[in-house]
Structure 1
Amino acid sequence: MTFETQFRGNAARTEALLTKLLSSETRADEITRPENLAEAMRHGVLNGGKRLRPFLVIETASLLNGDAEVALRVGAALECLHCYSLVHDDLPAMDNDDLRRGQPTVHRKFDEATAILAGDSLLTLAFDIIAAPETHLPDDRKAALVLALARAAGIGGMAGGQALDLAAEKTAPDEAGIITLQAMKTGALIRFACEAGAIIAGSDDVERHRLRNFGEKIGLAFQLADDLLDLTSDAATMGKATGKDAGRSKGTLVALRGAEWATARLRELVKEATDLLALYGDRADILIETAKFVAERKN
């Protein structure tokens, strides 16, 4: 099966599960799901995303013979958390964006208060999905997933990275600061996506660290490619505003080192990520193609 076929197939399965999880049907111990809030959540999630992070959960679990249905649910949980971050990042108090994936952002289609609540609900739902009895995994692995995701998403991960990103609008960080910011804001969830596959499979610490390291490499590549696209692409291709970093005087590695250096560094990161999976042979082909896709994508 080709990478493109696998990528589209996993995205479709993830989309179908997300549609079910975000329905207005109440679950055990819920009182009701307000329709306007549920609609805002669906708008923030079911709007054409690539589903890269769920794909990484599914494929790393597959590489290590982890349960496919569990991986699908954990991937959906991660996508809910990722989309919460996008809903909140787009708010006027944050990045103040009107467009996301070619559609109005949640606060533009609804209102700011609803967007905040939609993000809050998606964040909470992510942990609900992992902990739920439908996720057929031993409790110790569920606890490990919850802890790893909380650490990747919170003050020492994505949320902390967003705080550093806001601060960078006032004082441009040096190269080390940019790398730290990007490893937190963008890289931490991609790192978790790859580590989650090892947790689902019950892998030992060595294997878990190897997949985590792979995620760190492609997380760096993802942000570096994003910075290049912000500089060279347009809003129609990207589905969101471009040129924002330069307009806000934010420091990026591309601005600091140049596009030629960034392109060369992307090749290095793909090589480093690929080398980490060499011992798996042909079974790692899909993940190796994923690393190339992350570095070479056009939107």
Structure 2
Amino acid sequence: MILTNEVQASQQATQFDLAAYLAERQAQVEAALDRSLQVIYPERIYEAMRYSLMAGGKRLRPILCLATCELSGGTPEMATPTACALEMIHTMSLIHDDLPAMDNDDYRRGKLTNHKVYGEDIAILAGDGLLAYAFEHVAIETKNVDPERILKVVAVLGRAVGAAGLVGGQVVDLECEGKCDVSLETLNFIHNHKTAALLEASVTSGAILAGASDSELQRLSRYAQHIGLAFQIVDDILDITATQEELGKTAGKDLQAQKATYPSIWGLEQSREQARNLVSAAKAELMDFGEAAKPLMAIADYITARKH
């Protein structure tokens, strides 16, 4: 479980019981995801979609969405469909990222990757199905929210996952594979798009649904950008330092693929320091929100303490 030693640092720093908060929110997200997608004909595609969607994980993106909706005066119910959609989109990206044409990985979250179970053809279609269904789910299931806000969330999600976001970052990542002269600027572009864009959408979408002001959205966007890069730096560190059992996926893949990473540019110690600096900057963006920002503060600290 993620809710043990790795959250102690953030709990001590914020006097907030992050372990209990994450456990409660994870349970809500798991139940909502389970309800959101049933197996119907043709069963194989729905089974493949559910296989990866219900494979566990931290559910960080849905939890961030729920947290910022509450921070901005909304309710978890308002944001739950969007929270589920974010996890569907994230799951799609993992299914496609694991394919032989991309990272060619055999394990994800401690289980065989989707294409290893269902074949490459069905895995591609499972990702496509999850991506399309994510937008349908937001549009149909979001209740008691101004339609203009729902439309804005759909636009935010579309941008985060498309060529201006995740897809664009993935393209540059593929182009840089095997190159030994990848600059820090290029590496930041990759991960601001491939990783941070969906985290930013997770944070801002919840706030949009609750009617946050433009200035509040700007602060939350900067918070999300900072934790997004910190998250990726820690991922790069863990790829070097953690075991396959700890990661739930193949360790050392970045090195094998000759990928540029933050440790390859900075080394491990400077990478850790940069992650800590980004977390501090993220938390500074939340100061004006007061006590209501404690969950987001604690999640920022958790990012550098995690071992998964």
Q: Which structure 2 segments of 5+ residues have no match?
A: 1-15
Identify the residue that residue 222 of structure 1 maps to in structure 2: 231
Identify the residue that residue 137 of structure 2 maps to in structure 1: 129
Q: Deviations over 1:169-212 (max 9, x none)?
A: 14342110000101111110001111112201111211111111
After TM superposition, give the deviation of residue 286 of structure 1 in Å.
1.2
Identify the residue that residue 264 of structure 2 maps to in structure 1: 255
Give the alignment of 1:50-69 within 5 angstroms. Answer: 50-69=58-77
Q: Which structure 1 segments of 5+ residues have no match?
A: 26-32
**SS class of match (1:132):** helix
Shift of the 134–182 alpha-carbon distance from structure 1 to 2, 3 Å rule, reads closer
Q: Deviations over 1:79-103 (max 9, x none)?
A: 0000001001111111111100000
Identify the residue that residue 242 of structure 2 maps to in structure 1: 233
User: Aligned to 2:106, which of 98, 103, 110?
Assistant: 98
Give the alignment of 1:273-288 within 5 angstroms. Answer: 273-288=282-297
After TM superposition, give the deviation of residue 22 of structure 1 in Å.
1.2
| Residue 145, structure 1, aligned to residue 153, structure 2 | yes
Give the alignment of 1:108-257 within 5 angstroms. Answer: 108-172=116-180, 173-257=182-266
Identify the residue that residue 18 of structure 1 maps to in structure 2: 33
Q: Deviations over 1:242-266 (max 9, x none)?
A: 1111111111111101111011111
Larger RCO of the pair (alpha carbons < 8 Å, separation 6+): 2
| Residue 71, structure 1, aligned to residue 79, structure 2 | yes
After TM superposition, give the deviation of residue 134 of structure 1 in Å.
4.4
Asked whether the equivalents of residues 67 and 200 of structure 1 are also in contact (C-alpha less than 8 Å), the reply is no
Asked whether the equivalents of residues 106 and 112 of structure 2 are also in contact (C-alpha less than 8 Å), the reply is yes
Q: Percent identity?
A: 39
2:194 aligned partner, one-letter code = K
Identify the residue that residue 10 of structure 2 maps to in structure 1: none
Asked whether the equivalents of residues 79 and 142 of structure 2 are also in contact (C-alpha less than 8 Å), the reply is no
1:212 aligned partner, one-letter code = S
| Residue 6, structure 1, aligned to residue 15, structure 2 | no
After TM superposition, give the deviation of residue 67 of structure 1 in Å.
2.7
After TM superposition, give the deviation of residue 234 of structure 1 in Å.
1.0
When normalised by structure 2's length, the TM-score is 0.92
Identify the residue that residue 307 of structure 2 maps to in structure 1: 298
**SS class of match (2:187):** helix
2:69 aligned partner, one-letter code = A
After TM superposition, give the deviation of residue 62 of structure 1 in Å.
0.8
1:191 aligned partner, one-letter code = E
C-alpha distance in structure 1 between counterparts of 2:107 and 2:300, whole Å: 27
Asked whether the equivalents of residues 142 and 150 of structure 2 are also in contact (C-alpha less than 8 Å), the reply is no
Asked whether the equivalents of residues 159 and 185 of structure 1 are also in contact (C-alpha less than 8 Å), the reply is yes
C-alpha distance in structure 1 between counterparts of 2:104 and 2:144, whole Å: 40
Identify the residue that residue 29 of structure 1 maps to in structure 2: none
After TM superposition, give the deviation of residue 133 of structure 1 in Å.
4.6
Runs (4+) of structure 1 exceeding 4 A deviation are none
Asked whether the equivalents of residues 83 and 202 of structure 2 are also in contact (C-alpha less than 8 Å), the reply is yes
CA RMSD of aligned residues (A): 1.2
